[in-house]
A and B are shown apart, each in its own frame.
Chain A
């Protein structure tokens, strides 16, 4: 590439609406993802990027991009060699070293809840089971003394191509848990 950028042709944007295939280009000014066949595009200026995270998922790698506004994007479809070349590129061009996270594969339903900005991560044995953006939460409820319910916006506008979409999730915090500082009243 003439401007020292990196182009990847089979990178999907993932989200609550489903998976959108497309292509992504990283250059010295930031990143640009375009949906195959036109339509949706995501453009993030390098000055708006607050961090990157890599995660290995079955057969491929996922890149999460966090912005200073608290938004985040997930892109899937990077090979192992792309991970190392992009990591070097992010360090050199953006001055950012990506974090590495591992996907929880044990299948357990108990762990810890981490809150980082408006991202809630459910961590099992130090590995990430899932992340939820609190921006997608329409309502939180406390049920009894121990259960926190998160309800999600039902979004029919994103051209959702996922068959099953998340509506509600609840966490149980046992009485024995003295570490949870309590975020029942957020957001």
Chain B
């Protein structure tokens, strides 16, 4: 619905409101939840959701052993376009997750994941900046 995105800053975006809204995991692998604009990362046996707006870049690489590497860099204060620079005071005692690197057994999956994250991120960012413009 539209009400969920009435917040002005992208730092207010929330992926889920209830734990049962999370997708049921099939396998311990990176999952993209388009509907809730979330990226779920397998960390230590759990699927951990991140809103796509917290992600700055996603990239993949492949080595000669057919291992693929996925690197996700998150927004942190002090980087351009960070949502927190305007109200750093509120978050001054926070610690930020900055980067997660994973190795994937499936190069096709890793490329797909990176493309999906990029596309979803672009869509969300476009919508949010449009919303911000209309608000001013």
Contact = CB atoms under 8 A, between A and B. Distances in A.
* SS of B interface (majority): mixed
Interface string B11-32: 1011111111111110111100
A162 B43 CA distance: 11
A162 B28 contact: yes
Contacts of B24: 58-59
A48 B25 CA distance: 31
A178 B29 CA distance: 36
A164 B95 contact: no
A8 interface: no
B3 to A, nearest CB: 16
A39 interface: no
A33 to B, nearest CB: 14
A165 B101 CA distance: 9
| Interface bracket on B | 35 or more
* SS of A interface (majority): strand
A38 interface: no
B127 interface: no
A169 B96 contact: no
Nearest to B54: A109
B94 A56 contact: no
B103 A105 contact: no
B19 A58 contact: yes
B43 A166 contact: yes
A107 B50 contact: yes
B119 interface: no
Contacts of B93: 112, 176-179
A173 B97 CA distance: 9
Interface in B23-52: 23-25, 27-30, 38, 41-51
A6 interface: no
Interface in A1-41: 14-16, 18-19
15 contacts: A14-B46, A59-B24, A105-B16, A129-B97, A130-B44, A133-B44, A162-B42, A163-B109, A164-B42, A165-B104, A169-B101, A174-B77, A176-B77, A176-B89, A179-B93
Given A62-B46, A74-B45, 7 more contacts: A105-B21, A107-B54, A109-B96, A113-B95, A130-B48, A133-B44, A172-B96
